[in-house]
Structure formats: structure tokens, C-alpha cells
Amino acid sequence: MGRCGSRGSFGHCGSGCVVIPVLEVPLQEDLTAFTAFLWEHSVPHRVVEEDVRQVVWVAESVDPARVQDIYRFWRDGGDLARIQLHSARQKRLIRAIDWRTLPITLGLIVLSFVCSFVIGFGSDMEAMAWLSFTPFEVRGDRLLYQHLGQMLISGEIWRLVTPMFMHFSVLHILFNLLWVWIVGSRMEPVQGSVSLLGLVLFSALSSNLAQYLVSGPMFGGMSGVVFALLGYSWLWDKRGGQPRIGLPPALMGMMLFWLALGFTGVLEGVGLGAIANTAHLVGLLAGLCWLPAGRWLNRHSR
């Protein structure tokens, strides 16, 4: 099992790091300012509710006595702004990305590029038919596709989610995967890969099914999942979830503007192609609905 940093210093925790409990406080105590300070200084930690208490866990590389001293200083009315945790060099090192903490985020990006190249960004219909929500066949100017029930009976259940990996232009894939990276690289290290994977699968299934019912199987892209990630992250932080994901609140306004713009037809008019508006809307709703599950996973997973 890998270790990071050395005892007595604050370090960056990878997926192999051991975490240890360092504080137990009453459930009703508000730790928002304290945990915000730890995140501001890139101290890897989690707050887990257990019965009538909150337990603060940190990476084993973090000095528990230092965390406890800072907590007592803050609890007694001290100004956290007076505490300096890192040198400039340490801050640069802490900001370095530990790729091992992002298996789902990186997996989504890699699979999207691979699948999009395999289908020739939409030019290879035969390859697309293997990844679409249900199998289809083009005969002349007619599109014939299998119904959902037939697909499920055939056992090809991967089709419920694989449309999210298909993109039909370079702009399409770069736009979606940029957002996957922005949100996933913030969410996965603090909430865990299981929570992120659950949200991705739930939102992909929901948005793909809705889009299929509206337009058939000729669609693809990660946009529904992106809207789910943004919606969930916004609601998690707004409802005081800990640890915070930390996306700027203004992103929600931009997301809603982009969603509304898609329904106006403007995006298609400027050459961005057909927009899967139903998938966007249902993806957003799926992300908001995932909050209770996200809270449960955050509370019960280490």
C-alpha cells in the first residue's frame, strides 16, 4: 500500500494512502469553517457522520496532532487566517495531480476518445450500431431499429450506457470531456470513485432512456452526464455537503442558460449539429435527484 508525504507534514493523498481518524465532535457542531480551511490548504480529509458524532479522517501522512491543535485553536475563537501551513514549494507540490485518485474520470475520457474514433465520429454506421441504445440498420432512406424490450431480452444491456461514449465531432468531444475533467477531478478525490461511478451510470441510463423515447437510438455524447455532474455538485455545495466539491456557483446559471439555448434551436442554427435537449434536461434532473444517494455513500464509504 502506497504512502504519501511523511509524518509531521501535510501532504497529498493518493488512492493507496491510509486514512486515520483524528477528531470526534458532536453531530450538531458546525465544522464548515474548519473544513473549508483544510481544503483551502489542500489537506486531504473527510468528515463522516457516525451515530451522534462527526469523525474527521485525514491521510496518514498528515500529522494528527497538528490538525487537533488547529481545531482547538479555532474552537477557542482563534483566527484561522493567521495559520500558515505550507511553504510556497509545498503548495506547488500539493497542487500536483495524483492520477491514481481519478480512475473513473480518466476512464470516461479514455473510453470516449476510443469509442468516438472507432465510430469515425459518426461516419461508421456499422460501428455505431454496436454502441447505440438499441441496434439499428439503415436501408436506403429508412432507419430500422430494435425496440427496447427486444434489446433487453437479447441481453445487450451495455447499450443502456454506451451512447455516452460516442461523439460526432472534435468540438463535441472536447467540450464534453473538458467538463468531465473539471467536475470529475474535483468530485472523485473527495467523494470517492464509487459515488462518481454511481452518478455517471444513473444519469447515463436516465438521460439515454429519455432521449431514446423521444428520438430513437441515433444520439450520443456525454452531455447528459455532464449536466448531471454539474447539477449534483451545485446542489451538494448549496446544501452544505462536506467535503465541498467547490465549483463556482455561477456555473449553475451558465448551465441553465446553455440548456435553455439548446431548446431554442440557436445552437443547431450556428452549426453545432442536432442537440439532444431531452438528454440534457433529464441528466440535470438525475444529478439533482442523486443527492440523497450521494450523501449516503459519502457517509458510509471511507
Residue positions annotated with a catalytic role = 223, 280
> CA-CA distance, 35 to 37, in Å (whole number)?
5
DSSP tag of 243: S
- Residue identified by cell 509524518 is 7
Strand 45-50: give its sheet, edge to edge: 19-26, 53-59, 45-50
CB 125 within 8 A of CB 138: yes
CB 146 within 8 A of CB 134: yes
Helix (H/G/I), strand (E/B), else coil: 7: coil
CB 53 within 8 A of CB 97: no
Q: Calculate Rg over the CA atoms of the chain.
A: 22
> CA-CA distance, 277 to 275, in Å (whole number)?
6
